[in-house]
Structures are given as C-alpha cells and as structure tokens.
Amino acid sequence: MLTVERRYPSDMSDVEWERVWREIPPSPPIGADRTVDLREVVNAIFYVVRSGCSWRMLPKEFPPWQTVYGYLRRWKLDGTWQRIHDALREEIRQRDGREVSPSAAILDSQSVKTTEKGGFAGTTLARR
C-alpha cells in the first residue's frame, strides 16, 4: 500500500482511502484509460466541502477544478457518492455494535413567523 503525506486536514488517510476506493467504479472499457489520480480527486472534493472555497479557487496541487467537479457530478448522478456514504455508514454502525440500517429517523422543522396580514393582499392594494 502506498503511503501518501497529508497536505491538508481534509486529505484522506491511507485507511480512509482503502474504504472509499472499493466503491469507485472502474475505468470504462471503451476509451482512454484514466490518467487522473482518483485519490487526489476525492481529496479535492473534500477540500472544497471543508474549506467552502469556490471550485475555481482549488489549489494547484489538485487536479484541474473542471476534472474534479466532473467526477463529483458523475458520481452523484450514477449513485457512486451515495454508495460510498452508505458503505461508510454501515461500517461505522457495525463497528459500534448497532444495526446496519437505522430503524428510526427524527425529523425536526421550525415554524417561521409571518405578519398577520396576507402578503399578496397587503402589497397589491397600493397599486390600485
């Protein structure tokens, strides 16, 4: 296993990468082989999410922002990102001695206070 030095706090460790790597689909059989390092792509995605920077401000150590964004979009559309999330969630729940799938969920919503007058009627009277 190749050990990679972590440059940013958002970079994955070797153990974390091994868990994520299993869920990433292989290169398509038709067309050119991948030339981009997928670990760097995932690290770049985590960097943007963690730092809140825009895609165009991605540091030059990562692949071009268009490449990183393209992989993120593709993985969201084909379900890869969801599979990664589900696999990691199941692994953590199993490690903690819990059922693999959650049996309940808690939903919370807040009420937004509004004025007593209706917005539409109150604003259109002045136009008449």
In the chain, how many domains are there?
1
pLDDT digits over 28-57, tens only? 888 888 899 999 999 999 999 999 999 999
The domain of 56 spans 1-20+36-98
In a domain, 58, yes or no: yes
* Rounded mean pLDDT, 48-75: 95
* Tokens, residue 50: 């963690």
Instruction: Flag whether pLDDT at 75 surpasses 60.
Output: yes
Written as six digits, the tokens of 117 are 């007058």
What are the pLDDT digits (tens) for 87-115? 888 888 888 888 877 777 777 777 666 66
**29: in domain:** no
Q: Which tokens belong to 25?
A: 């689909």
Cα angle 44, 32, 82; round to 5: 40
DSSP annotation of 62: S
Q: Tell me if 27 is assigned to some domain.
A: no
